[in-house]
Amino acid sequence: PEASYGTPEQLKQLIDAAHGHGLMVFLDVVYNHFGPDGNYLGRYASAFFRHDQHTPWGDAIDFRRREVRDFFIDSALMWLNEYRFDGLRLDAVHAIPDRDFLLELAERVRAETGPDRYVHLVLENEDNRASLLEQGFTAQWNDDGHNVLHTLLTGETQGYYADYCQDATDKLARFLGEGFIYQGQKNRRGEPRGEPSAHLSPSAFVLFLQNHDQIGNRAFGERLVSLSDPDALRAATVVLLLSPMIPLLFMGEEWGARQPFLFFTSHHGELADAVREGRRGEFAEFDEFADAETRARIPDPNAVETFEASRPDFTSASEPGHSEWLALYRTLLQIRHAEIVPRLPGARFFGSAALGKAAVLARWKMAYGSTLRLELNLGPVSVPLTAPRGAARLLFSNRDLSDGRFADQLPAGTAAIYLDESNER
């Protein structure tokens, strides 16, 4: 928590106020590294770190030591018990090599927050360790889902998107039908990644179309509304908000904000220079930034203008289309509240299949014996539909499907979600 926003007591008051409105509050905790500025721990507690193992931020933290583990576990318990946060989002746990530390943290949190209180422990983990989601952790951010959707929406194939552009339709189907795409398969570097995930609940996966990393780490911080076809983006938004995975929204996306979210910092002196040049050097591998002159146009992370340019503009006159985006998000969230959330307990994946290029059919078994069915076409042309809908009720489609010619095909840029209650108990 940033001290400039207020005191510890004011943070507690904020959480109490949120609870009064029926809202939970999570805290994003970084237990895998310390920052490059203002960190003097290594000066007086060298043994806190292991010098045989290095990270992008310096020597790795030595979680083999009892006192180091206790430092972080007590930190977690402080936020949960003293401040009454409802959950923690653990940053980049793939950078913590000692998996048993994570298991101990989850076990201690469960034991010391009390049996009558449920605390959410959410992971960011590039390794797709599905087994952690059976050992005390609530859910994981699903980068696989984001990456394949982003690739199909934008056509981008460089960097880590190269792992998703080949056989993208099959990968889309696997994500919707099993959670993770990489469940032990090799990535572009030939390295196996992930563990089987189809047995997990869909609510063990946090789905997003945008977040601070995915937008902020782009050279110019562009949002999806500026990069993709509007109909296809609306279809992806239906998936985000009406699938049984847990949706995460990035500030301003519900408004269709077009202001960028740039990479900004508040460093000074040599560190500021190093961050600026390092930031521009990150893009040297990309074709469009091959020359130094182009890279020099990447905004300076330490410039006040970079920060100011990243503020979403919520004034009604800023851009056309804002009210339409807001209405879409409100409608979908109302449907989710009424139809999806009550049926989440016991939900499970129930298969998926490709319908055509960038088009899939996915189903989930929901509570009380109902079935949720998604027909999704992110491609540029209509695709045929073959599987019958039976007695399913249309919950929402971003396109009008009442025209009889759409009875056996799904138009481009369309998502339609149906609920079959014929077997509900």
Instruction: Report how far residue 272's alpha carbon sits from residue 279's, in angstroms, rounded to the nearest whole number.
Output: 10
Instruction: Report how far residue 248's alpha carbon sits from residue 329's, in angstroms, rounded to the nearest whole number.
Output: 12
From 16, 37, 74, 91, active-site residue: 91
- Helix, strand, coil percentages for the chain (3-state, nearest 5): 40, 15, 40
b/e burial code for range 149-162 (CB count within 10 A of at least 16 → b) = bbbbbbebeeeebe
288 is catalytic: no
How big is the chain, counted in residues? 425
291 is catalytic: no
Assess contact for 50 and 64: CB atoms under 8 A: yes
Other CB atoms within a 10 A radius of the CB of residue 388 amount to: 7
Give 303's Cβ-side CA count (13 Å radius). Answer: 10
Instruction: Report how far residue 259's alpha carbon sits from residue 414's, in angstroms, rounded to the nearest whole number.
Output: 26
Assess contact for 122 and 88: CB atoms under 8 A: yes
DSSP secondary structure, 383-415, as one string:
EE--S--TTPEEEEESS---SGGGTTEE-TTEE
From 62, 124, 253, 300, active-site residue: 124
Assess contact for 164 and 147: CB atoms under 8 A: yes
User: β-strand 120-123 against 393-397: which pairing, if any?
Assistant: unpaired
Instruction: Give the list of residues 6+ apart from residue 339 with CB closer than 8 angstroms, or none.
Output: 395, 419
- H/E stretch holding 236 reads helix 230-242
* Cα 90 from chain centre: 13
b/e burial code for range 87-120 (CB count within 10 A of at least 16 → b) = bbbbbbbebbebeebbebbbebbeeeeeeeeebe
The residue type of 144 is D
Instruction: Report how far residue 93's alpha carbon sits from residue 125's, in angstroms, rounded to the nearest whole number.
Output: 5
Q: Which residues are the active-site residues?
A: 91, 124
